[in-house]
Amino acid sequence: MERSRWLILVIFTCLFVFSEGREFKVKHTHHTPVYNHTLTTILVHYASAVYVSDLTELFSWTCERCDGVTEGFQMIELVVDIQNCLQAFVGVAEDLNSIVIAFRGTQENSIQNWIEDLFWKQLDIDYPGMPDAMVHHGFYHAYHNTSIRPAILNAVKRAQDYYGDINIYVTGHSMGGAMAAFCGLDLIVNCKAQKVQVTTFGQPRIGNAVFATYYSKFLPNTIRVTNGHDIVPHLPPYYYYFPQKTYHHYPTEVWLHNVGLESLIYPVEKVCDSSGEDPTCSRSVSGNSVIDHVNYFGVDLKGSAWRSCRIVMDHGLVDYGRTDAEGNFVVSREPATPVIKLNTLSAAGDNHV
């Protein structure tokens, strides 16, 4: 068993070595988004909060991760796709005067298994309406072919009907970052939204170079944050000798890393070039850290424990929710109604799913 694990590690290392080399030039516009540190460090807290499994605390915005810079956020829709182990929410941050959409990352029993699986994901479907743009069906379907998309779009429409044409910030971490990317593109291309910005953390590659070109055209203000030696942004691997078939990140990457020696170490936030695959950013180091993947800006981006789709909710929350035939659960309120006040019951009184 131990020998098998070492063999897998050797194979992965070789894949990374061969993925470095000549860059395939991608056509991007010369627009470079303005990186806003303050905004990004606010959005990372939303990407963290969506991992909360207590739906009562999350929907009423009373969880431990629901204070500080996100205090006062008003939840409009919380959707849990039990069948596919997905979770997302839509709400309004009045201090930002914006709609915020957040997607949860993977909640599998072992994140290591999910990471290993990323090595072998193939570009296997064409993105609709974009000739030669290819993506992986798993990333695409997680957003487009589950209960997540209709719930998100319905909530965004209700929020816009009440608040007007305000900004929309879409965020997520890891697999949630991939879903956030597809959501942002969907809002622009299919819903004709005008003010959409996507900011992701530790996101894997999701499409080929042609897809990256289209993406940067429609969402030029996208920020894709990477951290140190985080392994996930290196996956699925980039292979220069298959330029039309290989995965390719879209811009713009902001790489968080430390520079200096011994006691003179200080953090840097480097805004990378418009290629999406800047060799002087996260690609300049080996992607070998799970620890760097689950903490950005000092904020935990994971559930309280590594476990599969377990949720907890107060009996009173059922009155605000609906369940479909597959057991997927949506909790919602109209933007014009007061923010609900729910008290979390003792463990004996909670519903567990």
Q: With respect to residue 10, please indicate whether it lies within any of the assigned structural domains.
A: no
Q: What is the DSSP string of 141-209?
A: HHHHTSSHHHHHHHHHHHHHHHH-S-EEEEEEETHHHHHHHHHHHHHHHTS--SSEEEEEESPPP-BBH
Q: With respect to residue 350, please indicate whether it lies within any of the assigned structural domains.
A: no
pLDDT at 322: 87
Select, from the ranges 105-109, 175-179, 238-242, 263-267, the one with the highest average predicted confidence (pLDDT). Answer: 175-179
Q: With respect to residue 31, please indicate whether it lies within any of the assigned structural domains.
A: no
Confidence of residue 6 (pLDDT cuts 50, 70, 90): very low
pLDDT at 159: 97
Q: How many domains does the chain have?
A: 1
- Residues 170-180: tens digit of each pLDDT: 999 999 999 99
Domain of residue 164 covers 41-247+287-332
Whichever domain contains 55, its CATH number is: 3.40.50.1820
- Give me the percent of the chain exceeding a pLDDT of 90: 66
Q: With respect to residue 344, please indicate whether it lies within any of the assigned structural domains.
A: no
Q: With respect to residue 48, please indicate whether it lies within any of the assigned structural domains.
A: yes
Q: With respect to residue 7, please indicate whether it lies within any of the assigned structural domains.
A: no
Q: With respect to residue 72, please indicate whether it lies within any of the assigned structural domains.
A: yes
What are the structure tokens assigned to 175, written together?
């697999």
Share the mean pLDDT of the chain. 86
pLDDT at 120: 76
186-210: b or e for each residue (b if 16 or more CB lie within 10 Å)? bbbbeeebeebbbbbbbbbbbbbbb
pTM comes to: 0.88
Q: With respect to residue 298, please indicate whether it lies within any of the assigned structural domains.
A: yes
Single-letter amino acid, residue 199:
T
